[in-house]
Structure 1
Amino acid sequence: MNTFSELGLEPRLVDALNDLSIVKPTQIQQEAIPILLDSMQDFIGLAQTGTGKTAAFGLPLLQVVEEESKTCQAIILAPTRELAQQIAEGLNTFAKYRPKLKIEVVFGGAAITNQIKALKAKPQIIVATPGRLVDLIQRKVVNLNALNYVVLDEADEMLNMGFKEELNKILADTPADKTTWLFSATMPAAIKNIVNTYMNDPKEVSVKSGVEVNKNISHQYLVVKMSDKLEAIKRVLDVNPNFYGVMFCRTKIDTQNLADDIGRAGYRAEALHGDLTQKQRDSVMRKFKDRTLSMLVATDVAARGIDVNDVTHVIHHRLPDELEFYTHRSGRTARAGKKGISIALVSKGEVRRIGEIERRLKIKFEKELIPTADEVMSSRMDNSLKLIADYEIKGELPADLRQQAQEMFANISKENLVDKLLAKELSKVSISNSGDLNQTENSRSKEGRDRSDNSRKHARLFINLGKIDDVSNAELLHMICDISGAKKSQIGKIEIQQKRAYFEVEKDAVSGVMDKFKGYEFEGREIRVNKDDSPPRSPRSQQRGYQDRKRRSSGGRPSGGGSGRSGSGGRSGRSGGGRRR
């Protein structure tokens, strides 16, 4: 079977796929879709990441779910909120011509009140992380009594992350006659236990990985702090004057914020994500195709179907969770036999993932350095002066204007005229951060020196949100600015620990930030911001103090047994879910 129509998909779904330029099913799609459409049999799909599993279960699910019903008919469970969001965005894109079908995504680390409100619209399909779904079930917000389908995506990864207890609770609460579809890269003993306990004589399909990366792509990575990524991106654009590419982000809000920041800095960039109307999407793509834009900032799902030749670069603002998405992203460049560059921006802690991608995709990454401020300045000047030197004079210049210019410059030497031209061009150049952005093994000690310098103009505050709330540096920065009204430029370094986070604020803005947070609550929990008057501790002493606290909390015994996960049931203090007392 070579087309989706031949697999049994209805025309509305096929039309949506055609709009995305998705016309040929992958092997897992060819084998799974007919089975999932034609029977109520439980199903196991064994396939590596990158084989098109989301469409393999998502398309049949969209076809069998009754859009006239106002009950939840299907639950899709995913290990991470990023994957859950990607699945939901993909399903919404596929369901373009089924307007009555409602799909909602719920996950930890975000305001549960907003998700509860969204679920009141009675979606037929819910995509969820296990921890958050258990929370919603216990609150009696989600009722599984009418459930017909349960999909477990990346089942082995959910177990690896410690979700065994949550999966057992969810599956035990579902109707006995529901149909279960399980997709996994491997089949460890824990997965077999789930199959034996909750599935009835499942049909199993296994396919080899179809992940192949274009050989004409040069894979590079830059090691940089999250707070310096915007400046790093601008420097990459500056030293590549012919840049014509796509930058990928994980979430819609990051996509829009980055596109806005890059645009305000004077670069030709716009966002492409699922919150745009079709008219807006068409407008952005039209400008990108005719090169009015040099950079498209996009989510993975929104960028599916982008078929533009001559793309020189792909930038990964953050590495995707799935290899499938790395392959899709990188594949936007090096088309039609041309060469292209794929650049990943990673933190020091993410460098190990580069090695994992190398092993699994059988590719080689080269570590590159972020251009220095001097290199950026030189490149900008070279580009500006080259434009002048190469400018083609068309037609005859007016003789009177030429004479006027020659008279004006008559007493200026050639050297002085070049100096004036150079000075004028330099006046246009502005670099917000002239420091070395490259992260190295010694960067922590450098941060200590920077902090000492910054202490003269910054105060250090702390907030009672941390890693347990699954909040990132970028999300915390947006929260601080949204609630306090402070500008991003007024916020300095952010350091997130387990249960709290430290951040620097310009001294003039300290009282305003602290005052705005007074009385601020998130789901009944007061969010506090206070000054940190203690001297900075060394990384070793911080780790020792954290271990001491763990020993005290466990009665002096070594702690263990916890999953240490976040992003499922944790609560975050993001600005969207807070309120005043």
Structure 2
Amino acid sequence: MPSADEASTSTSIAPEAPEAPTVPSAPTTFKSLGLIDPLLEALEQLKFTIPTDIQTAALPHALEGRDIIGVASTGSGKTAAFALPILQKLWEEPKGLFACVLAPTRELAFQISQQFESLGAAMGVRCATIIGGVDLVSQQVALAKRPHVVVATPGRLQEHLEKTKGFSLRTLKFLVFDEADRLLDLDFGPMIDKILKLIPKERTTYLYSATMTTKVQKLQRASLANPVRVEVSEKYSTVSTLLQYYLFIPLSQKDVHLIYCANSLAQNSIIIFTRTVHDAQRVSIMLRTLGFAAIPLHGQLTQSARLGALQKFKSGGRRILVATDVASRGLDIPSVDVVINYDVPTHSKDYIHRVGRTARAGRSGKSITLVSQYDVELIQRIEKVTGKKMELWPTDAEEVALLRERVDEAGRVATTEMKEMSMNGKFGRKRRRDDGGGGGRDDRDRDDDTMEAGMPKKKSKGRR
């Protein structure tokens, strides 16, 4: 199978995109940007009052019909930046399948579909979400109803293009790559290359990414025609409203200090990020045993369980979401007060995406990273990339000591429950294939947590 780079370069290379002004100063409202009344009404209902920087920069060029390369940090309003011009053009030309959006994860695909439907409610916009983990036949029925917008993960879309009779992208007017850097990091390149061969060359293409990697630049040249580049953030940066802290502790005391932080922040909504599926499930059980309203989110849950976990956290039914990096990119979860990194991410950009779940849309937020004696180099690298020093999170040694016995007992309960789940087949080391056949190849939203299948449990010993 060719690499993502090879797939991206198999088409003719487009010239470099000219730089556009970062943020034009004149437009200050959605109306002044040239949007039509049905979209303005939808924006008002959704309480989108002022365009974000990426929307202000991209919309004038998009409404002129230009291809767009949008580079902006997570939580900057990228979805509306590409959805609004597509919906405005659809109002003018209400034809069948009109746009296709490619997203790297299932949860992000659902979120994009919901935003299209919300923004296009007055227009009666129909969306189909085509992802792995969902029955193939039900998706074929949805495609047969001729949706205006298809939001898909690349593997499942390719499968429908090959297997579903009557379905094609021949009438497509818009193609969108969302979170393009992650699409290519997850090796979707060969699938994207096959999809590009099956869609009209005469189309408008938007490519949105948090970072401009070499692979993304090659995809840009292969798929966009004379694009305008709009960039509203520096590469690898965190927002100024985010307060970043660290807690330096022995590896054996990670659990008790995590519980100490959760206890002292009990009135806040918290996302705890772990490196592995195993720890996401274990920490979630431990938290629930100690009385915290926690729920896990990781790649070994069924699709309905993943969506259910997200919905419970968004609605406030659960105050703590314990997640792998499946939740670190693109998802718009409002009012997350605190992000806790139980494990220090290996890559600096993963840290930036994780902490980007809080302090969104101008709000303030906190991040706390648990640092053991083995993580010092990783933290130094993150601080160098972000250009910001983390502050020490204050702790009370006596309170931590008082918690130790209860946390150790909760840890034993969690370990026992994990063993029972594994014996009953409810939680295994192997990943399940997607429902509906052939979906295993589309299960690329597994992120770093699936490395767990080959990882020794070297960290578990000190925590018990």
Q: Bin the TM-score by the shorter chain.
A: 0.5 to 0.7
Task: Give the match for residue 496 of structure 1.
Answer: 429
Within 1, Cα distance between the matches of 2:174 and 2:53?
23
CA distance in 2, matches of 1:155, 1:118: 26
Q: Residues 91-124 of structure 1, C-alpha deviation per residue, up to 9 Å, x if partnerless?
A: 44544x4372222333335544454454444332
Listed as ranges, the matches of 1:499-510 within 5 Å are none
Cα 1:317–1:62 shift into 2, 3 Å: farther
Matched with 1:566 is 444
Higher RCO (Cα < 8 Å, 6 or more apart): 2
> Which residue identity lines up with residue 444 of structure 2 in the other structure?
S
Residue 163 of structure 1: CA displacement? 2.5
Cα displacement string for residues 265-303 of structure 1 (whole angstroms, at most 9, x for unaligned residues): 7557899x9989x9x999x68xxxxxxx99476988664
Aligned-partner Cα distance in 2 for 1:81–1:35: 29
In the alignment, does 2:57 pair up with 1:31? yes
Q: In the aligned structure 2, how far is the partner of 1:79 from the partner of 1:342?
A: 25
**Mapped pair 1:133 → 2:66:** no
Alpha-carbon contact 2:156-2:442 (below 8 Å) kept: no
In the aligned structure 1, how far is the partner of 2:208 from the partner of 2:147?
23
Percent of aligned positions that are identical: 28
Q: Is the 8 A contact 2:341 2:370 kept in 1?
A: yes
Query: Which of 81, 100, 113 is the matching residue for 2:106?
Result: 81
Equivalence map 1:374-523=2 (5 Å):
375=399, 378=402, 434=409, 461=423, 480=426, 496-497=429-430, 523=436
Does the residue aligned with 2:269 lie in a helix, a strand or coil?
Answer: strand
Normalising by structure 1, we get a TM-score of 0.50
Aligned to 1:43: 68
**Preserved contact between residue 174 and residue 204 of structure 2 (Cα < 8 Å):** yes
Give 1:28's aligned amino acid.
Answer: I
- C-alpha offsets along residues 118-160 of structure 1, whole Å, 9 cap, x if unaligned? 4444332122222221111111264212211001223344334
Alpha-carbon distance in structure 1 between the residues aligned to 2:363 and 2:372: 26
Q: Provide structure 1 residue ranges, at least 5 long, that are not aligned to the other structure.
A: 251-257, 286-292, 381-429, 438-449, 464-479, 481-493, 502-520, 526-562, 573-581
Task: Work out whether residues 104 and 123 of structure 1, in 8 Å CA contact, stay in contact via their aligned partners in 2.
Answer: yes
- Other structure's SS at 1:2 match: coil
Superposition deviation, residue 51 in structure 1:
4.4
Measure the CA separation in 2 of the matches of 1:214 and 1:68: 42
1:86–1:369 Cα change, 3 Å: farther
1:3 CA displacement: 1.7
Question: Structure 2: which amino acid aligns with 1:566?
Answer: R
The offset of 1:35, in angstroms, is: 1.4
Query: Measured at CA, do residues 10 and 431 of structure 1 come closer, stay the same or move farther in structure 2, by a change above 3 Å?
Result: farther
- The residue correspondences of 1:519-530 to structure 2 (distance < 5 A) are 523=436
Larger radius of gyration: 1
Distance in 1 of aligned mates of 2:127 and 2:373: 36
Q: Using a 3 Å threshold, how does the CA distance of structure 1 residues 62 and 462 change in structure 2: closer, same or farther?
A: same
In the alignment, the residues of structure 2 paired with residue 352 and residue 19 of structure 1 have an alpha-carbon distance, to the nearest angstrom, of 47
Write out aligned runs for 1:99-118 (5 A): 100-118=124-142
Task: Give yes or no for contact 2:71–2:232 (8 Å, CA) kept in 1.
Answer: yes
Q: Secondary structure at the match of 2:409?
A: coil
Give the Cα separation in 1 of the matches to 2:356 and 2:169.
Answer: 36
Distance 2:374 2:42 in 1: 39
Tell me, yes or no, if the aligned pair for 1:45 and 1:206 is still in contact at 8 Å.
yes
Task: Find out whether 1:326 has 2:259 as its counterpart.
Answer: no
- 1:247 and 2:270 aligned: yes
Report matched runs for 1:223-262 at 5 Å: 236-238=261-263, 240=264, 243-248=266-271
**Take 1:281 and 1:564, find their aligned partners in 2: how far apart are those partners?**
26
**Per the alignment, in what secondary structure is the counterpart of residue 245 of structure 1?**
coil
Q: 2:208 aligns with which of 174, 180, 183?
A: 183
| Structure 1: distance between partners of 2:131 and 2:385 | 28
Map 1:324-363 → 2, pairs under 5 A: 326-327=355-356, 329-330=358-359, 335=364, 341-343=366-368, 358-363=383-388
Contact 1:107 1:129 in 2 (8 A): yes
Q: What residue number does 1:53 align with?
A: 78
Letter in 2 for 1:247: I
Give 5+ residue unaligned stretches, structure 2: 1-26, 274-282, 297-305, 451-464
Quick check: 1:202 aligned with 2:212? no
Which residue identity lines up with residue 434 of structure 1 in the other structure? E
- Equivalent of 2:88, from 46, 49, 63? 63
Report the Cα distance in structure 1 between the residues aligned to 2:38 and 2:250, rounded to whole angstroms: 44
Structure-2 change in CA distance of 1:281 and 1:269 (3 Å): closer
Gap change, CA 1:62 and 1:281, over 3 Å in 2: farther
Classify the secondary structure of the residue corresponding to 1:76: strand
What's the C-alpha RMSD, in Å, of the aligned pairs?
Answer: 5.7
Cα distance, 1:302–1:11 mapped onto 2, change above 3 Å: farther
Deviation at 1:434, TM superposition (A): 1.4
List per-residue Cα deviations over 1:152-183 (Å, max 9, x = no partner): 22334433433232122111111232222223
1:313-365 residue CA offsets vs partner (Å, 9 max, x unmatched): 45579999694673351459985xxxx64346899999998777645443445
CA deviation vs aligned residue, 1:21-56 (integer Å, no higher than 9, x gap): 5433333321211111232x3333344555443332
Aligned mates of 1:57, 1:219 — CA distance in 2: 34
Cα distance change of structure 1 residues 323 and 523 upon mapping to structure 2, 3 Å threshold = same
SS in 1 for 2:34: coil
